[in-house]
Amino acid sequence: MKVSCLQMNMLFEKPDENFSHAKELIRKAAEQGTDTVLLPETWNTGFFPENDLESFCDNNGQRVKNEIGSLAKEYNINIVAGSVSNIKDGKAYNTAYVFSRDGQCVAEYDKTHLFTPMHEDDFYEKGDHLCRFELDGCSCAVLICYDIRFPELTRTLSVQGLDFLFLVSQWPKVRTAHILALTKARAIENQMFVANCNSCGIAGKTVYGGNSSIHDPWGERIAHAGEEEEIITADCDTSILKNIRETINVFADRRVELYKY
């Protein structure tokens, strides 16, 4: 599977401009021959409008489904549509949507770990479910930014066999070393591809660090962005997964009877 991360510099509190730009980047990646594209976290609003948040949000993902889902069908690609600030049942969520090649929404995930240091939990509701799905015959999952700091979440998703973990984020430049270390570690310990699409630019007082990356199951970084807006692509050879898992069979060697909190 050829995977592309669209490292987008979005405009704070400007959903119309951001939708237009996201679609431009998706078209560009599709025309370059990718199979699956990723957008960053809360790309419709930036992270995140504290004043009148609801007015900037999508409504139950309707706009994402209409405008981004249609591009998946038009270009015959999979789209992990990052996440959007989103209103559901009168409450705001940080919601990721995933579209298959026929434009169908095959997954919806609300961020479960909200970033309390920036008071995300004061404005958004916590998600209450995990999310696994299939793209092109591969087992996949999506997480959102702060989620990656909780290895028990990733392991819960991966114990049944996960080929790809898609991480969408608004990760600040000051902690770039953390996101690179965490994504590499999750790839190695769970023997899967990890693709992280981060944002860049400035929202409010925060500078976001870019450095989107794709790691293979050995932990090798097979694509890496800089700090400015760009598209990175890696051809992820899933045929290597079987050999890796047979060579170092960490899942068979687990001692679950000892893992207590």
111 is catalytic: yes
* Count of Cβ atoms closer than 10 Å to residue 70 Cβ: 13
Residue in 111, 138, 140, 184 annotated catalytic:
111
Is 41 considered catalytic here? yes
> Which three-class secondary structure string do you get for 241-254?
HHHHHHHCCCCCCC
Active-site annotation holder among 57, 140, 145, 236: 145
Instruction: Give the list of residues 6+ apart from residue 63 with CB closer than 8 angstroms, or none.
Output: 15, 19, 44
DSSP designation for 34? -
| Residue 152 designated active-site | no
Name the catalytic one among 41, 65, 105, 108: 41
List the alpha helices (DSSP H) in the chain: 15-31, 62-63, 69-75, 151-158, 176-190, 240-247
Asked if the peptide bond before residue 48 counts as cis, ω within 30 degrees of 0, the response is yes
Q: Which two tokens stand for residue 71?
A: 């591009």
Nearest to 170 by CA among 217, 114, 238, 126: 114
Active site residues: 41, 111, 145
